[in-house]
Chain A
């Protein structure tokens, strides 16, 4: 299939145009170890490829280098017939700087080029008009003025693209200069002639910024927005998560009741629905998180959030852009590690990815809930405003964040002279505030769910089956205790003894390497309580009666904050850092650190 490629400066509306041209079916190709992501879709008889937004063909970092390399490769490819370069009409000069570089490249490679002048609806609201014919004459390539949002001029663009693609030879760029000085001068001259006055366009954005970046109100607004985001992860996602859980349980029952009792239904119930189900429950939460972050990103606020956080985070060797990955890490580490792709400096991105697993992801929630119910009395002060258990929850979250910052500090010191990770300064464009469009958002949300399942499912599936087999065989009346897993638990009891924990906790901890929340269910089984997930208070009472000491319990809690008990996260770390050593090294290091913390805690109390 012949190909049309989309290029343009960031925030020029490229994603939206891509979504308007192609339908719902999209493919995303990732390249391991770097942030480069190529989206592919179909428009008429053509394959459309969306390249990452760029300011220049001259690269600064390895990620940009790979993106531009791919662009060069695509330009040389025979199948590529048309290059569509998106220009933001409200920032014509900056868009042209990149646009003219692309034009020069297209000329060199003998490819047809068309400029798409986007955002003309905004120009119209300022009563400004760009004469596309004249602009086209001066540029020596066709220009289509459109609005990807109101769809103004989109039909002309579609017809034009088809026509140009089938008569590519008539649309090779006539002009195009290689000299960077000429490019700068030419974009300035063209902007002088055609562009709207900058102050007019920037007035609204600067007015909103004078509130949202204000030292007092801006900080408050930031906290409120983050609070709402946090809420959304837990409250908005909760009903959907319950629904998914219910659906899986219902399905499991439907399937297994019609079967003869035996290994097969046990396997389907325990390994398939139990293990995989507990992981699918997190998909809605990840999608809600992606939606909210996508809203912030497309509206333009994310750049401001990064700006506000940059200074405080830089004390720890992190960037303002580390903030969003940290925040998403409280839902699940996997999408959080992926979202670290937006961090400009390779070194800061690495440190961010390495510390994300310390954020208290929601798989830890059931574990926290159980142990807090066991250890902390349910007392309220100030007329119910302050709740002791609530404070304990908050303290655990804070402890995770604090650990992450500490580790960042240490890693930063260690890697200080690592040349490969040459540092990039923080230069961030503050885009205009715009109303997000549902189409790219919808696409993003869908992709996040698909991505998560595809990344995590295979490995979780394998571990589930392994643990299920170990826990199921050999069969006897004594249940889990006599199984291979139980034997293993007793065998490794000496490891957990210094933490004040017996073999039952040992097994539950080992089992939770599959997914942390399995801890509660496993402990429930060992204490002889069915359905422990729903009945945390019953299990908590049992554990209390069983005599778990306060110190051992606290140690166990801290262990769960720090330990990297998630194979899917390790796999994602490996893919994103491109290093097996880092991924498994972290697994071991956080495990040892967690153990050490628990060890010390038992002795303190």
Chain B
């Protein structure tokens, strides 16, 4: 599944960043903490398919669908 499929309060482990993101954005995401193997928690979903809010490591980010659906993870 992908980050976009997560429900509020669910926690998962990042498996892969899809090629579709491109090398630059993938690298930036890793620098922001979205690394393979890291735990990520969904804090909030917004109505109307708006950006979701996640906590990863020491930071909280908001991501829109086009990014979130390209981050693959495993629910634990």
Contact = CB atoms under 8 A, between A and B. Distances in A.
Interface in B22-59: 24-25, 27-33, 35, 43-44, 46-51, 53, 55, 57-59
B75 interface: no
A55 B28 contact: yes
Contacts of B66: 425
A60 B25 contact: yes
A430 B60 contact: yes
Contacts of B51: 307, 310-311, 320, 426, 428
B71 to A, nearest CB: 11
B40 to A, nearest CB: 12
B59 to A, nearest CB: 5
Interface centre among B29, B46, B64, B67 (most CB of A within 10 A): B64
B45 to A, nearest CB: 9
B44 A213 contact: yes
Contact of A215 (B24, B33, B46, B55): B46
B62 interface: yes
A127 to B, nearest CB: 17
B31 to A, nearest CB: 5
Interface of A: 55-56, 58, 60, 90-94, 97-98, 180, 184, 188, 191, 195, 198, 201-202, 205-206, 209-210, 213, 215, 303, 307-308, 310-312, 314, 320, 425-430
Nearest to A303: B62
Contact of B44 (A94, A202, A209): A209
A303 B60 CA distance: 11
B60 A427 contact: no
B63 interface: yes
Nearest to B63: A427
A549 to B, nearest CB: 44
Given A56-B28, A425-B25, A209 B53 contact: yes
B50 A202 contact: no
Given A307-B53, A425-B67, A427-B67, A94 B33 contact: yes
28 contacts: A91-B59, A93-B57, A94-B32, A94-B33, A94-B57, A180-B27, A195-B58, A198-B55, A198-B57, A198-B58, A202-B60, A209-B53, A209-B60, A213-B44, A213-B53, A215-B47, A308-B46, A310-B50, A311-B48, A311-B51, A426-B67, A427-B29, A427-B32, A427-B62, A427-B64, A428-B51, A429-B32, A429-B62
Nearest to A424: B25
Given A94-B33, A428-B61, 10 more contacts: A91-B59, A93-B58, A94-B59, A209-B43, A213-B53, A308-B50, A310-B50, A426-B67, A427-B28, A430-B53
B55 to A, nearest CB: 6
